[in-house]
Amino acid sequence: MASRSMIDAPEQDICVTVTLVDGLVLVRSAFHHSMNYRSAVLVGRPRRVEDADERIRALDAIVDQVVPGRSAYLRSHTRKELAATAVPALPMYEASVTSRSGGPVDDDLDIRQGDVEAGVVAVWEALGDAEPAADLAGTVPVPDHVDDGCRYALRG
Q: What element of type H or E holds 124?
A: none
Mean pLDDT, range 76-90, rounded to an integer: 91
Residue 141 pLDDT exceeds 90: no
Higher pLDDT, 28 or 140: 28
Question: What is the rounded distance in angstroms from the CA atom of residue 10 to the CA atom of residue 4?
Answer: 9
Residue 114: how many CB atoms within 10 A of its CB?
8
Q: Kindly report the pTM of this predicted structure.
A: 0.70
Residue 155 pLDDT exceeds 80: no
Q: Is the dihedral of CA 59, 72, 129, 154 positive or negative?
A: negative
Backbone angles phi, psi at 51, to 5 degrees: -65, 125
- pLDDT on residue 22: 94
Nearest CA-CA partner of 92 in 145, 14, 24, 1: 14
Residue 102: how many CB atoms within 10 A of its CB?
10
Higher pLDDT, 103 or 8: 103
CB-count burial class (<10 Å; 0-12, 13-18, 19+) for 29: middle
CA 120 vs. chain centroid, Å, equals 23
User: Given pLDDT bands bounded at 50, 70 and 90, which one contains residue 101?
Assistant: very high
- pLDDT on residue 153: 52
User: Given pLDDT bands bounded at 50, 70 and 90, which one contains residue 126?
Assistant: confident
- Arithmetic mean of pLDDT over the chain: 85
Residue 9: how many CB atoms within 10 A of its CB?
9
Is the CB of residue 151 less than 8 Å from the CB of residue 66?
A: no
User: Given pLDDT bands bounded at 50, 70 and 90, which one contains residue 114?
Assistant: confident
Residue 156 pLDDT exceeds 60: no
Residue 99 pLDDT exceeds 50: yes
Residue 133 pLDDT exceeds 60: yes
Mean pLDDT, range 28-42, rounded to an integer: 94
Can you state the percent helix, strand and coil of the chain, rounding each to 5?
30, 25, 40
- pLDDT on residue 1: 40
Is the CB of residue 146 less than 8 Å from the CB of residue 72?
A: no
Mean pLDDT, range 120-137, rounded to an integer: 82
